[in-house]
Amino acid sequence: MILWIVLAVVVVIGLYVMVTYNGLVALRNKIDNAWAQIDVQLKRRYDLIPNLVETVKGYAAHERETLDAVIKARNVAMSASGPQEQAQAENMISGALKSIFALSEAYPDLKANQNFLNLQEELTGTEGRIAYARQYYNDTVYRFDTKIQSFPANLLAKQFSFTAREYFEVDEEARGPVTVDFDRAPGADFGGGPASPPPTPPTT
């Protein structure tokens, strides 16, 4: 009788370990997939920026400081790594983009340019998709981090080296004109066409 009880306890513990481990793996994979979705949209945004700058240059070439700020912000964002650093870079690029869109108020011909309007619309749509993907990513990170910090799953998480993941938190207040120190930023590069974004990974 005691043997059967011991075996039953062992089976229950084994099932719990298996289910909990598989659940943590599934959540971790969902986080990675969610970040890949964000990355696709960010790359799409970066690809549109050189075209936007070239269009604006045709009407406001002397606004060099604003144009350089956008390109430098893009370069900083492209070299960022990790959600926290990426979020800070996205705050820079959002402020710089708002500054360049503000130029259209002073240049009626630019404001009426169809290519400029199309790029503005595409960037706005991309921004919306980034926000949606960011929300899903953060929700999944919350579930994962809560799971690995809760007893008794935290014991299993520690044993198998599951560690907390970072949130991707963009400061919405920073989406206005901002002052950024680009002394260490990569130089502006107006040459070359945009790279093609990687294929969108399958959603889960």
> pLDDT tens-digit profile of 144-189?
999 999 998 888 888 888 999 999 988 765 444 333 332 333 333 3
Which residues of the chain fall short of a pLDDT of 50?
A: 174-204
- Decide: helix, strand or coil at residue 107: coil
Q: Which three-class secondary structure state does DSSP give residue 179?
A: coil
Give all domains of the chain, ordered by start, each with its CATH number.
24-174 (1.20.1440.20)
Prediction pTM value: 0.75
Residue 175: predicted pLDDT: 44
